[in-house]
Amino acid sequence: MSAFCFQRPSWRGAVFTILVLLSWAQPVFSQEDLVTDLVTLDELADSAMEWAEENLDQDVLASLSQIDREKVRQALADLQKKLGGAYVLDLAPFKDTAKSLVPLLRSYEETTPYAAWLRSRLDYFDVAEELKRASPVPKQPQEKPVPTPIPSPKAEREIWMKQISKTSWPEAAKPLIPKLKPIFKQAHVPVELVWIAEVESSFDPHAKSPAGAAGLFQLMPATAKRFGLRRWPFDQRYTVEPSARAAAQYMAILHSRFKDWRLALAAYNAGEGTVQRLLSSRKARGFDEISGSLPAETQMYVPKIEAVIERREGLRLDQLRSGEG
């Protein structure tokens, strides 16, 4: 169990916990690009407040403004260490915290969309724990700290296959899959990629991340704008067909650029610029060569989607064919 403990929360405490833990749980990067420059603690605190102003109900914001700023700063200082790393195994100690947070988020109308977002990621913590258990432990104390190991992509794929093999179709997917597949086919994208929605939102169109991504396919505002989705007077990211069309078009562009579905999925999650920079700097051509330098979530995201598609459709990524199915 992490250092965060949940008692019956006050509203201010709940908002604070939500802001801090969700800010940690998903690094704030857009689907267009990942910001890799280090930022100061003041900038992180300011960014958190800017996010709150844009995303939280005014009543929530009023409560948030009363929170002791130093506590926010200290919590963000602790989280910055996590956000700055790429260590999947560091997610493991937060398993209980994440699971405890979901019902807390559900208890407030304003934060229910974040509960949907987090719920679809709870198995990240389960898999991180499994990977940590499988990691070699030094037989004797070391004079120098041992760096956190980075699981191999092969190990992650194997554990994700075991994890997803325990699951069945999400109930919410049953009415949506027949609507989504024709949209992906029209975009000349393998229809099996509609299962991205299971990983992104558990097929909940109301899901929203603390970074501002929204809908079935967790589109960022910039991505929505890029593909012609309106955000006013109604945000089309929360509407099934427009959001699916944008996601399919984006996946088509990413695959055209990277010529590989693993890299395309990594770019969808971590940003095109991030993937391209890593490929160029390492003179690499495949996901496995750059995986360990990607954000921890992206390291988990790609093999999870692989496992979901193989479980739901009986196909590997390298068997997918554009516009077929």
Annotated catalytic sites, by residue? 200
In the three-class reduction of DSSP (H, G, I as helix; E, B as strand; rest coil), residue 208 is classed as strand
- Torsion-angle region of 315 (φ positive above 0: left; ψ -120 to 50: alpha; else: beta): beta
Closest CA to 85 of 147, 131, 1: 147
d(CA 64, CA 49): 9
d(CA 73, CA 96): 23
**DSSP summary character for residue 206:** T
CB 278 within 8 A of CB 294: yes
Burial class (CB in 10 A: 0-12, 13-18, 19+), 94: buried
